[in-house]
């Protein structure tokens, strides 16, 4: 059995479902029974997620030269 | 002390409060001081939560024969 | 369905099993199917868990007047 | 490297960014490379977060004598 | 970017590395930059992990008719 | 109130306590009552933690030219 949690940027529903299906396939391939494999996606706002002490919102603005 | 986190389907506020109170009672019964026992509920959308590689939204549609 | 995670101090196996059973009963009472209800216990060392900026190891020593 | 997750009450964006920057500085001071240090803030509703078996919404009402 | 966390039964190191590599490939396929994709595996003891209110240790014993 | 969780490489106890104290100070500075601020450190093995699809154990070996 396996529980997969993913923190990621927002995606459309079709992409969410593809990610879920393919992550599940990986765990099943390595021995987790399919019906005992869960996935939960946590779509995190770039205002609340930071690397290097700076939110992704600001990092992207800086990369685009708009801030 | 104890920190309880629950991932669950959305509930109304009265049910949330009943769940919180009763989960807390269990931990207190087994030695956690009441005021050092936390509960956080995470109500997860069925579009983002999957079992067997399929979201709960789709699983429920399939069970109801509507998809 | 529900996933319950608990951070707690170490317990013996009989107590772990009682906690797991009773937390599960709460979620089942409020609508989670029993076989879709998971519990994971995380027994956290008091050297790594702190309140008020002080580990529980030190807090307990201070309360006992040994530190 | 370090991943910091914080469950907290909602804050305005300027405060979020100050918290993120200063938490990151602590980890960098103790050896985590800055660009390998992440922070994610989880702003939790007081309707879903409880201590002592009572939501923070109710605890605050009780403290204010309005409930 | 993406952070993947997996709760699973213990695996040998070669299997851990295969799981990590393939989960990462899924997220990269759907737009997460490879060097901004993390995986952490949490290998959970079957004494601490339960479904249906019963630890996996006991569930497996029951299935094998030894308990 | 605030709950801080940190995934990090193993540290000695003095460093753990310094990290805990200073992370707590940040949250207190921004309004979290000190005695309602928790920290838990999760020291993650480099065999179980990966970036870019490769464990940190292997990444460090590669950087040192020993693998």
Kindly report, residue by residue over C14-60, the tens digit of the pLDDT: 999 999 999 999 999 999 999 999 999 999 999 999 999 999 999 99
Nearby residues of C60 by Cβ (< 8 Å), 6 or more positions away: C46
> What pLDDT was estimated at residue D66?
62
Task: Match 């213990």 to its residue by tokens.
Answer: E10
Q: Is the pLDDT at F67 greater than 90, yes or no?
A: no
> What pLDDT was estimated at residue D24?
98
Residue from C40, C42, C43, C44 whose CB has the most chain E CBs within 10 Å, to mutate: C40
Kindly report, residue by residue over E9-66, the tens digit of the pLDDT: 999 999 999 999 999 999 999 999 999 999 999 999 999 999 999 999 999 999 887 6
Percentage of chain D exceeding pLDDT 70: 97
Instruction: Name the residue ranges covered by the structural domains of chain D.
Output: 2-63
> Is F13 close to C47, i.e. CB distance below 8 A?
yes
Q: What's the token pair of residue F13?
A: 């106890």
Yes or no: say if A67 and A61 are a contact pair by the CB < 8 Å rule. yes
The domain made up of B2-63 has a fold known as: Macrophage Migration Inhibitory Factor (3.30.429)
Q: What would the mean pLDDT of A45-56 be, rounded to a whole number?
A: 98
> Is A53 close to D37, i.e. CB distance below 8 A?
yes
> What pLDDT was estimated at residue F66?
62
Residue C27 contacts E, CB cutoff 8 Å? no
> Is C48 close to F35, i.e. CB distance below 8 A?
no
Residue B55 contacts A, CB cutoff 8 Å? yes
Task: List the single residue in A7, A15, A30 with the smallest CB-CB distance to E3.
Answer: A7
> What pLDDT was estimated at residue E51?
98
> What pLDDT was estimated at residue F16?
98
> H or E segment at E40?
strand E37-43
- Report chain D's mean pLDDT, rounded to a whole number: 96
Residue from B8, B45, B53 whose CB has the most chain A CBs within 10 Å, to mutate: B53
- Report chain E's mean pLDDT, rounded to a whole number: 96
CA distance D46 to C66: 38
> What pLDDT was estimated at residue B66?
62
Q: What would the mean pLDDT of D28-41 be, rounded to a whole number?
A: 98
Q: How confident is the model at residue C64 (pLDDT cuts 50, 70, 90)?
A: confident
SS3 content of chain E, % helix, strand, coil (to 5): 40, 30, 30
Q: What would the mean pLDDT of F39-67 be, rounded to a whole number?
A: 93
> What pLDDT was estimated at residue B65?
79
> What pLDDT was estimated at residue D16?
98
Q: How far is CA E44 from the centre of its chain?
A: 8
Q: What is the DSSP string of chain D?
A: -EEEEEEE----HHHHHHHHHHHHHHHHHTT--GGGEEEEEEE--TTTEEETTEEHHHHHHHHTT--
> What pLDDT was estimated at residue C66?
62
Strand pairing partners for D40? A49, D5
Kindly report, residue by residue over B17-67, the tens digit of the pLDDT: 999 999 999 999 999 999 999 999 999 999 999 999 999 999 999 988 765
Residue C40 phi/psi, 5° resolution?
A: -125, 130
Contacts of D46 in chain B (CB under 8 A): none
Kindly report, residue by residue over A25-49, the tens digit of the pLDDT: 999 999 999 999 999 999 999 999 9
Q: What's the token pair of residue A29?
A: 């391939």
> What pLDDT was estimated at residue A67?
52
Q: Is the pLDDT at A14 greater than 80, yes or no?
A: yes
Q: How confident is the model at residue D52 (pLDDT cuts 50, 70, 90)?
A: very high
CA distance D20 to D18: 5
> Is F41 close to C51, i.e. CB distance below 8 A?
no
Output the CA–CA distances (angstroms, integers) from residue A20 to A15, A33, F49, in the order listed: 9, 15, 21
Strand pairing partners for A30? none
CA distance C49 to F67: 36
What is the ipTM metric for this complex? 0.95
Burial of D67 (0-12, 13-18, 19+ CB in 10 A): exposed
């Amino acid at each position: 059995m396996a529980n997969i949690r993913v923190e990621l940027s927002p995606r459309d529903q079709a992409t969410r479902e593809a990610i879920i299906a393919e992550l599940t396939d990986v765990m099943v391939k390595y021995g987790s029974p399919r019906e005992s494999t869960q996935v939960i996606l946590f779509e995190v706002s770039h205002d609340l997620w930071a690397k290097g002490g700076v939110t992704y919102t600001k990092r992207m603005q800086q990369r685009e030269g708009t801030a």
